[in-house]
Amino acid sequence: MATEEQHVESSVITVSANGVWKSGVESTVNVRGFDSMVMDEPPALGGTDHGPNPMEYVAGSFVGCFTVMLQLIGGELGIEVSKLEIAAEGDIDLRGLYGTADVSPHFQEFRSTVSFAAGGNVENLAQLKSEATKRCPVYNMLKDAGCEPQIDWQVDQSA
Amino acid sequence: MATEEQHVESSVITVSANGVWKSGVESTVNVRGFDSMVMDEPPALGGTDHGPNPMEYVAGSFVGCFTVMLQLIGGELGIEVSKLEIAAEGDIDLRGLYGTADVSPHFQEFRSTVSFAAGGNVENLAQLKSEATKRCPVYNMLKDAGCEPQIDWQVDQSA
C-alpha cells in the first residue's frame, strides 16, 4: 500500500492519506503533494485546537462531495447550478468516544442545507436531487453508517 | 443550524462545515475560523486538481481520528505512544459515482498501517488496540458503512 498517487485501474481507484503524530492529539496529514492538513481537538476534547478535528473534516468532506455531485449531475441533466453553498452539521455523543456508554462514537444525526440557483433544464430538478443522493460517495457513506443526511434544499429557480 | 462554533451540551457536540462552490467541481470549505480547505477532483475525474478530493479528506480524517484515539486511550492505559505514523487507503468503484452500475459509491475496502513505538504499560497493548477500534468515530463510521478498516499494526516495543 502507501502509494502517494491516485491511480485508476478499470473502474476502481484507490485514494490514500498519510499522517504523523505531532504532540498531544495533534497530527499532520498529507494527501499526495498537497498542503498538509492539521488535525487536532479543541481544549474541551483534550487538544490544543491547532486545526479542525477529524469529524469536522468528515463534515467538510460531505460539503465538498455533494458540491462535486451537483455539478457533475447538473451537467448531465442540462441544469446550470450556480451560487452553490452547502452547510452541514452532525451531532456526536462523546460518551461513545470516551467509552462511557454503549453509543455510536460517530454521527447520531447529520443535517445539511444545500442552496443554489438553478438555470437551464430546471424541469430535471427532482432528478438532480435524487441522483445526487443516490450517487454521492460521502452522502452514502453516512447513510450506510446509519446517519443519512437530512437535506434542506433551497433552490432559486428565478435566475 | 449553521453555527460556526463547536458547542458542548451535556455529552452531545455538534460539528459543522460550510462550503462555497468555486468553479468546475472545486469548492472552498470552512470549519470555524481555520484556513479554508480546497476540495477538487483530478482531471481524470473532471476537475482541476487544486486540492484533495472529498474521499481523500475522509481517508485523512481516519488517520487523524485514529491518532487522537491512540493517544487518548494510551494515556488512560499508561502506554506511551510515540513515533506514531498512520497510512490509510480506500478503494472506490467509480461506477457508483457515475451511476453506471448498482455498486456502492463510497469505499469498497479500507486498509490502514498503524506504526508506533510503545513504552510504559505495554502489557495493556491488546486493550489499546481493541479500545481504539471500538471507540474511534471515523473507524466506526467506516465499519458501520460496511467497509471496516483492516488494520496492519506495526508496534515497536523495544524502545
Closest of A151, A131, A96, A6 to residue B47, by C-alpha:
A6
Q: By the CB < 8 Å criterion, does A129 face chain B?
A: no
Q: By the CB < 8 Å criterion, does B6 face chain A?
A: yes
Q: By the CB < 8 Å criterion, does A7 face chain B?
A: no
Interchain proximity B54–A138, CB inside 8 Å: yes
Q: By the CB < 8 Å criterion, does A19 face chain B?
A: yes
> Which helix or strand (DSSP H or E) is residue A126 part of?
helix A125-135
**pLDDT tens figures, B83-99:** 999 999 999 999 999 99
Please report the pLDDT score of residue A31 as a whole number. Answer: 98
Quick one: cell of A156?
Answer: 432559486
ipTM metric: 0.94
Interface test with A, best of B10, B21, B86, B155 (most A CBs within 10 A): B21
Please, what is the average pLDDT of chain A? 94
Spatial distance between the Cα atoms of B69 and B88, rounded to a whole number of angstroms: 15
Q: By the CB < 8 Å criterion, does B93 face chain A?
A: yes
Spatial distance between the Cα atoms of A68 and A124, rounded to a whole number of angstroms: 18
Please report the pLDDT score of residue B159 as a whole number. Answer: 64
Q: Are B42 and A13 in contact (CB under 8 A)?
A: no
Secondary structure letter of residue A2 according to DSSP: -
Please report the pLDDT score of residue A40 as a whole number. Answer: 98
**pLDDT tens figures, A26-63:** 999 999 999 999 999 999 999 999 999 999 999 999 99
Quick one: cell of B152?
Answer: 496492519
Spatial distance between the Cα atoms of B41 and B26, rounded to a whole number of angstroms: 7
Maximal CA-CA distance, chain A: 53
At B1, is the pLDDT very low, low, confident or very high (cuts 50, 70, 90)? very low
Q: By the CB < 8 Å criterion, does A88 face chain B?
A: yes
**Which residues on chain B are in Cβ contact (under 8 Å) with A124?**
none
Quick one: cell of B154?
Answer: 506495526
Interchain proximity A11–B136, CB inside 8 Å: no
Spatial distance between the Cα atoms of A18 and B19, rounded to a whole number of angstroms: 24
Interchain proximity B17–A93, CB inside 8 Å: no
By the 10 Å C-beta count (0-12 exposed, 13-18 middle, 19+ buried), B55 is classed as buried
pTM of the model: 0.94
Buried b (16+ CB within 10 A) or exposed e, B32-54: bebeebbbbbbeebebebbbbbb
**pLDDT tens figures, B103-147:** 999 999 999 999 999 999 999 999 999 999 999 999 999 999 999
**pLDDT tens figures, A61-102:** 999 999 999 999 999 999 999 999 999 999 999 999 999 999
Please report the pLDDT score of residue A158 as a whole number. Answer: 85
Please, what is the average pLDDT of chain B? 94
> Which helix or strand (DSSP H or E) is residue B60 part of?
helix B54-77
CA dihedral B75, B155, B114, B131 (to 10 degrees): -40
Interchain proximity B89–A2, CB inside 8 Å: yes
- Say which residue the cell 467497509 belongs to: B147
DSSP string across B2-47: --SS-EEETTEEEEEEEEEEEETTEEEEE-TTSPPEEE---GGGTS
